[in-house]
């Protein structure tokens, strides 16, 4: 397996962790290098997108668990070259509480 393939596999495993709402935070931490950088494109929660380091990514997992009653990530495209991975991901979520102009999702 090349380094690019190994990195892609790690990225796919990381995304899959979000689909288990009770996944221990240690499982997230175990997959990420200390120097990881996460770039998120603009979306309904982060209008400007975001750039996060490892610590900010972990804090985001905890924040997401408070904000969302459920969420699902589906990878539709993936590419890796060297030490870089890019994923196209469809994310759906159900709000547990209101967030900005967004209202809590009714049950």
Q: Tens digit of pLDDT per residue, the chain (107 long)?
A: 899 999 999 999 999 999 988 899 999 889 888 999 999 889 887 889 999 999 999 998 999 889 889 999 999 999 999 999 999 999 998 988 887 777 777 76
In 1-107, which ranges are E strands?
38-40, 50-52, 68-81, 84-95
The pTM score is: 0.80
The CATH topology of domain 3-95 is Nuclear Transport Factor 2; Chain: A, (3.10.450)
Query: Where does residue 14 rank: exposed (0-12), middle (13-18), buried (19+ CB within 10 A)?
Result: buried
pLDDT at residue 53, rounded to an integer:
96
Domain ranges of the chain: 3-95
Tell me how far apart the alpha carbons of residues 66 and 88 are, in angstroms, rounded to a whole number: 25
């Amino acid at each position: 397996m090349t380094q690019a393939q190994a990195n892609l596999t790690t990225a796919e495993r990381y995304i899959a962790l979000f689909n288990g709402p009770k996944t221990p935070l240690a499982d997230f931490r175990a997959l990420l290098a200390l120097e990881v950088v996460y770039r998120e494109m603009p979306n309904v929660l982060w209008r400007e997108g975001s750039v996060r380091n490892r610590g900010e990514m972990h804090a985001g997992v905890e924040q997401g668990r408070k904000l969302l009653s459920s969420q699902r990530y589906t990878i539709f495209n993936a590419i890796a070259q060297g030490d870089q991975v890019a994923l196209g991901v469809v994310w759906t979520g159900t709000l547990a509480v209101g967030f900005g102009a967004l209202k809590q999702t009714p049950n």
